Structure 1
């Protein structure tokens, strides 16, 4: 598993052993493994939860080498965050603030923007936290596009070429439905939501500014 320490980037075995420090100073978030290239993770490097013009870039990181190698995949640094790699390891969906809005883009997972860049969504909204279907045919993501700037997030789905956009679900006029993830067979999506009006951490962090809520499976 790969995880961040804010700051710091680390790798650990699933049983909790073998914790390794990849970089103790980098401000990285979040992490995702390449499904095809062994020992490669993707992450965003820069400050978290900032404006569209904040300098944040996406990197691939080779961790199973003597000296971890960071390769910058995005070019302009305008809030390039939340990378999601396709099941075949060829493409990387992510959020980018280049137009002044936080929309979704798709790029080459190995070459980055130098290998091409496709804008998937547009508009004065925040499209974020994307995830690929197991067959690579769909990308599900969270967005406030039904009410931009309201802080209310719902789930949407789109093809990797930018077609077929449709609204899946949201949690009310001021609710948050986030962090979608496809089931292995691609038939369901698990997500967090505040449907029950309860924070994900009601005891330890009841007043968090972003109550992710409980988990649901439609």
Structure 2
């Protein structure tokens, strides 16, 4: 091969590396700038920065959507959340990214006790080709919190007794509490809510 060609190839490879390194640096710097804004009271600054051409060019669509989601959740901006969920339907996400976002959407509607929308989102989750990988994580909460099924009460109580992870134990307690509410046992429902609150208080 002609030595001139070799030199050109070396220069091009080096230039490509420099461009990639610079792009990664700019992306990292931009994310560090945007992330605090997402949880600040300066929502206008966040909105302007997240939708700038440079941000759209540098930060992947999925990452920008997650930043928006976190910001809207933090500020309890229900209107913007609903708009975001609609926009996601047209987003260029991978199947795994779609599934991840649908799960976040499902959790939001379950927290809002909006069973109608939760059921619609769950249907979308079930049609995703990666559903089998997450079924065990979301099926039980969905059945308890949305469908008000109560047949897993004993199983959940036993799991809560042996669970070492405080966060998981809180999740079990809240599911158990909901089941007792469904069964009209207010005392037991409150009992498990108090248990969950106690763990959260001690693990701040």
Higher strand share: 1
Give the TM-score taking structure 1 as reference length: 0.27
TM-score, length basis structure 2: 0.29
Please tell me whether Structure 1 or Structure 2 has the larger radius of gyration of its CA atoms. 2
